[in-house]
Amino acid sequence: MRLISCTEEAHSAAILAILNEAIVASTALYDYKPRTPENMVGWFATKRANGFPVIGVVDESGKLLGFASYGSFRAFPAYKYTVEHSVYVDSAHRGQGLGRTLMEAVIAEAAKRDVHVMVGAIDAANAGSIALHRSLGFEHSGTVRQAGFKFGRWLDVAFYQRILSTPLNPVDG
């Protein structure tokens, strides 16, 4: 297994498959309908335009097994040092430590890019993701009860954050 920087050309279809499996089979994403290849064009364009990383883990044959990324937390200038991250692992490869590997890589990349706070919005019933985040130094920063409705039930979203030591010299504006 090795870490890579994902590209739209090489990895869009695999990322789409991983996301769509999470949409239809879990509460990891609060979407109802699978995304389309056209959605991925916009997704990658946003990542490129903002300099947001898309880090993947591949097997020896080059098959994408999972990915992590981050994006804007909120669209106001004072949030420029805060990002919301995500990590997804192909359902056939969960429980092998890939989520941890991806999270460690995306945290390191965030620090290099002067991010100060990383936020994860996690379905409050997702004990595995919560345990992973806690083990990586994320702290619970709040829960919005009944924030989503999927699979015939209300879903609570828990926010976990990690404060990084970067940037060394933050500026207003």
Positions of the chain with pLDDT under 50: none
Dist CA 64 CA 77 (whole Å): 34
pLDDT tens for each residue of 57-86: 999 999 999 999 999 999 999 999 999 999
The pTM assigned to this predicted structure is: 0.95
* pLDDT at residue 173, as a whole number: 85
Strands 117-123, 82-89: pairing is: parallel
- Residue recorded with tokens 């994408």: 64
* pLDDT at residue 101, as a whole number: 98
* pLDDT at residue 135, as a whole number: 98
Dist CA 114 CA 155 (whole Å): 33
Q: Where are the domains of the chain?
A: 2-163
Which one-letter amino acid corresponds to residue 118? M
**8 A C-beta contact, residue 128 and residue 88:** no
Q: What homologous superfamily is domain 2-163 in, according to CATH? A: Gcn5-related N-acetyltransferase (GNAT) (3.40.630.30)
